[in-house]
Structure 1
Amino acid sequence: MTRGEYDVIVVGGGHAGCEAAAAAAKMGSKTLLVTMNLQTIAQMSCNPAMGGVAKGQILREVDALGGMSGIITDKTMIQFRMLNRSKGPAMWSPRAQSDRMRFAEEWRWALESLPNLDFFQDMVTGLIVEGGRVAGVKTGIGVEIKAKSVILTNGTFLNGLIHLGEKQFGGGRAGERASTGLTPELAALGFEYGRMKTGTPPRVDGRSLDYSKMEEQAGDERPEKFSFSSQTKPLETQRSCHITYTSNEVHEILKEGFDRSPMFNGQIESTGPRYCPSIEDKINKFAGKDRHQIFVEPEGWKTCEVYVNGFSTSLPEDIQFKALKSVAGFENVRFFRPGYAIEYDYFPPTQLKYTLETKLIDGLYFAGQINGTTGYEEAACQGLMAGINAHRKVQEGGEFVLGRDEAYIGVLIDDLITKGTEEPYRMFTSRAEYRILLRQDNADERLTRKGFDIGLAEVSRLAELEGKQSKVEELNRFLEKHGVEPMDVNPILESKGSSSIKQKLRLDGILSRPQIEFTDLMEYGELSNFVLDNGITREEWEQAEIKIKYQGYINKEKENAEKLSRLSDIRIPEGFDYKRLKSLSYEGCEKLSRVQPQTIEQAKKISGVTPSDISVLLVYMGR
Structure 2
Amino acid sequence: MFPIYDVIVVGAGHAGCEAAHAAARMGSKVLLCTMNMNTIAQMSCNPAMGGVAKGQIVREIDALGGMSGIISDKSMIQFRMLNRSKGPAMWSPRSQNDRMMFAEEWRLALEQTPNVDFWQEMITGLVVKNGELKGVRTSIGLEILGKSVVLTNGTFLNGLIHIGEKQFGGGRTGEAAARGITEQLVELGFESGRMKTGTPPRVDGRSLDYSKMEVQYGDENPEKFSYSDSTTALKEQRTCWITYTNKKVHSTLEEGFDRSPMFNGRIQGLGPRYCPSIEDKINRFAERDRHQIFVEPEGWNTVEMYINGFSTSLPEDVQYKAIRKIAGFENAKMFRPGYAIEYDFFPPTQLKLTLETQLMENLYFAGQINGTTGYEEAACQGLVAGINASLKAQEKDPFLLKRSDAYIGVLIDDLINKGTEEPYRMFTSRAEFRLLLRQDNADLRLTQKGFDIGLASDERLAKMNTKKEETAKLINDLKQKKFSPESVNEGLEEIGSSTIKEKISAEKLLKRPQIGLQILKTFNTEIDAYLSKYPTEVLEQAEIQIKYDSYIEKEQQMVDKLSNMENFKIPLKFDYIAIPALSAEGKQKLNKVRPETMGQASRISGVTPADLSIITVYLGR
Short-chain TM bin: over 0.9
Q: Does 1:531 align with 2:501?
A: no
Instruction: Answer yes or no: is the 8 Å Cα contact 1:132–1:362 preserved in 2.
Output: no
Match of residue 460 from structure 1: 459
Shift, 1:571, TM fit: 1.8
Query: Following the alignment from structure 1 to structure 2, what is the Cα–Cα distance between the partners of residues 326 and 540?
Result: 49
1:601 aligns with one of 575, 599, 602: 599
SS in 1 for 2:203: strand
Match of residue 419 from structure 1: 418
Q: List per-residue Cα deviations over 1:405-438 (Å, max 9, x = no partner).
A: 0000000001111111110000000000100110
Match of residue 79 from structure 1: 78
Shift, 1:44, TM fit: 0.2
Shift, 1:136, TM fit: 0.6
Query: Following the alignment from structure 1 to structure 2, what is the Cα–Cα distance between the partners of residues 306 and 76?
Result: 16
Within a 5 Å distance, the mapping from 1:489-568 to structure 2 comes to: 489-523=488-522, 524-532=524-532, 534=533, 536-568=534-566
SS in 1 for 2:89: helix
Q: Does 1:15 align with 2:14?
A: yes
| TM-score scaled by length of structure 2 | 0.99
Query: Following the alignment from structure 2 to structure 1, what is the Cα–Cα distance between the partners of residues 566 and 474?
Result: 36
Instruction: Answer yes or no: is the 8 Å Cα contact 1:202–1:308 preserved in 2.
Output: yes
Shift, 1:496, TM fit: 2.5
SS in 2 for 1:90: coil
Match of residue 179 from structure 2: 180
Matched AA of 2:616: L
Match of residue 46 from structure 2: 47
Shift, 1:63, TM fit: 0.2
Shift, 1:498, TM fit: 1.7
Q: Does 1:220 align with 2:219?
A: yes
Within a 5 Å distance, the mapping from 1:102-251 to structure 2 comes to: 102-251=101-250
Match of residue 344 from structure 1: 343
Query: Following the alignment from structure 2 to structure 1, what is the Cα–Cα distance between the partners of residues 549 and 604?
Result: 32
SS in 1 for 2:398: coil
Matched AA of 2:250: H
Q: List per-residue Cα deviations over 1:229-260 (Å, max 9, x = no partner).
A: 01111101001111001111111111000000
SS in 2 for 1:319: helix
Query: Following the alignment from structure 1 to structure 2, what is the Cα–Cα distance between the partners of residues 438 and 485?
Result: 36
Q: Does 1:438 align with 2:444?
A: no
Query: Following the alignment from structure 1 to structure 2, what is the Cα–Cα distance between the partners of residues 491 and 93?
Result: 35
Query: Following the alignment from structure 2 to structure 1, what is the Cα–Cα distance between the partners of residues 11 and 28?
Result: 18
Moved more, 211-220 or 576-585: 576-585
Shift, 1:20, TM fit: 0.3
Shift, 1:564, TM fit: 0.8
SS in 1 for 2:306: strand
Within a 5 Å distance, the mapping from 1:468-487 to structure 2 comes to: 468-487=467-486
Q: Does 1:620 align with 2:618?
A: yes
Q: Does 1:388 align with 2:387?
A: yes
Moved more, 426-435 or 467-476: 467-476
Q: List per-residue Cα deviations over 1:71-101 (Å, max 9, x = no partner).
A: 0101110000000000000000000000000
Instruction: Answer yes or no: is the 8 Å Cα contact 1:132–1:360 preserved in 2.
Output: no
SS in 1 for 2:86: coil
Query: Following the alignment from structure 1 to structure 2, what is the Cα–Cα distance between the partners of residues 235 and 261?
Result: 42
Query: Following the alignment from structure 2 to structure 1, what is the Cα–Cα distance between the partners of residues 486 and 287?
Result: 56
Moved more, 521-530 or 540-549: 521-530
Shift, 1:151, TM fit: 0.4
Query: Following the alignment from structure 1 to structure 2, what is the Cα–Cα distance between the partners of residues 20 and 248?
Result: 46
Shift, 1:487, TM fit: 2.4
Matched AA of 1:599: T
Shift, 1:24, TM fit: 0.6
SS in 2 for 1:262: coil
Q: List per-residue Cα deviations over 1:168-209 (Å, max 9, x = no partner).
A: 000000110100010111111111000000000000000011
SS in 1 for 2:153: coil
Match of residue 611 from structure 1: 609
Match of residue 588 from structure 1: 586
Q: List per-residue Cα deviations over 1:292-331 (Å, max 9, x = no partner).
A: 1000000100000000000000000111111111100100
Query: Following the alignment from structure 2 to structure 1, what is the Cα–Cα distance between the partners of residues 276 and 537?
Result: 35
Instruction: Answer yes or no: is the 8 Å Cα contact 1:77–1:99 preserved in 2.
Output: yes
Instruction: Answer yes or no: is the 8 Å Cα contact 1:278–1:312 preserved in 2.
Output: yes
Moved more, 299-308 or 475-484: 475-484
Shift, 1:126, TM fit: 0.8
Q: List per-residue Cα deviations over 1:9-41 (Å, max 9, x = no partner).
A: 000000000000000111111100000000000
Matched AA of 1:375: G
Shift, 1:397, TM fit: 1.1
Matched AA of 1:419: K
Matched AA of 2:6: D
What root-mean-square deviation, in Å, do the aligned CA atoms of Structure 1 and Structure 2 show?
A: 1.0
Query: Following the alignment from structure 1 to structure 2, what is the Cα–Cα distance between the partners of residues 144 and 622?
Result: 48
Matched AA of 1:180: R
Query: Following the alignment from structure 2 to structure 1, what is the Cα–Cα distance between the partners of residues 27 and 571?
Result: 33
Number of corresponding residues: 620
Query: Following the alignment from structure 2 to structure 1, what is the Cα–Cα distance between the partners of residues 582 and 473?
Result: 55
Query: Following the alignment from structure 1 to structure 2, what is the Cα–Cα distance between the partners of residues 273 and 299?
Result: 23
Query: Following the alignment from structure 2 to structure 1, what is the Cα–Cα distance between the partners of residues 108 and 49?
Result: 19
Query: Following the alignment from structure 2 to structure 1, what is the Cα–Cα distance between the partners of residues 180 and 577?
Result: 37
Matched AA of 2:192: Y
Query: Following the alignment from structure 2 to structure 1, what is the Cα–Cα distance between the partners of residues 450 and 297?
Result: 34
SS in 2 for 1:580: coil
Moved more, 64-73 or 469-478: 469-478
Query: Following the alignment from structure 1 to structure 2, what is the Cα–Cα distance between the partners of residues 291 and 110?
Result: 43
Shift, 1:612, TM fit: 2.4
Within a 5 Å distance, the mapping from 1:299-338 to structure 2 comes to: 299-338=298-337
Match of residue 574 from structure 2: 576
Q: List per-residue Cα deviations over 1:521-567 (Å, max 9, x = no partner).
A: 111212211122x3x12111010000000111111111101111111
SS in 2 for 1:10: strand
Q: List per-residue Cα deviations over 1:259-311 (Å, max 9, x = no partner).
A: 00000001011100010000000010011111110000001000000000000
Matched AA of 1:597: P
Matched AA of 2:150: I
Query: Following the alignment from structure 1 to structure 2, what is the Cα–Cα distance between the partners of residues 426 and 489?
Result: 47
Q: List per-residue Cα deviations over 1:567-618 (Å, max 9, x = no partner).
A: 1122222222222322322222211121111111111111122222222222
Identical residues among aligned pairs (%): 67
Within a 5 Å distance, the mapping from 1:92-107 to structure 2 comes to: 92-107=91-106
SS in 2 for 1:126: strand
Query: Following the alignment from structure 2 to structure 1, what is the Cα–Cα distance between the partners of residues 527 and 71?
Result: 36
Matched AA of 1:162: I
Matched AA of 1:592: L
Query: Following the alignment from structure 1 to structure 2, what is the Cα–Cα distance between the partners of residues 159 and 487?
Result: 73
Shift, 1:217, TM fit: 0.6
Query: Following the alignment from structure 2 to structure 1, what is the Cα–Cα distance between the partners of residues 617 and 492?
Result: 57
Matched AA of 1:542: E
Query: Following the alignment from structure 1 to structure 2, what is the Cα–Cα distance between the partners of residues 619 and 491?
Result: 65
Matched AA of 1:528: D
Query: Following the alignment from structure 2 to structure 1, what is the Cα–Cα distance between the partners of residues 91 and 357?
Result: 34
Instruction: Answer yes or no: is the 8 Å Cα contact 1:296–1:309 preserved in 2.
Output: yes
| TM-score scaled by length of structure 1 | 0.98
SS in 2 for 1:465: helix
Q: List per-residue Cα deviations over 1:479-513 (Å, max 9, x = no partner).
A: 11111122222233223222111111110100011
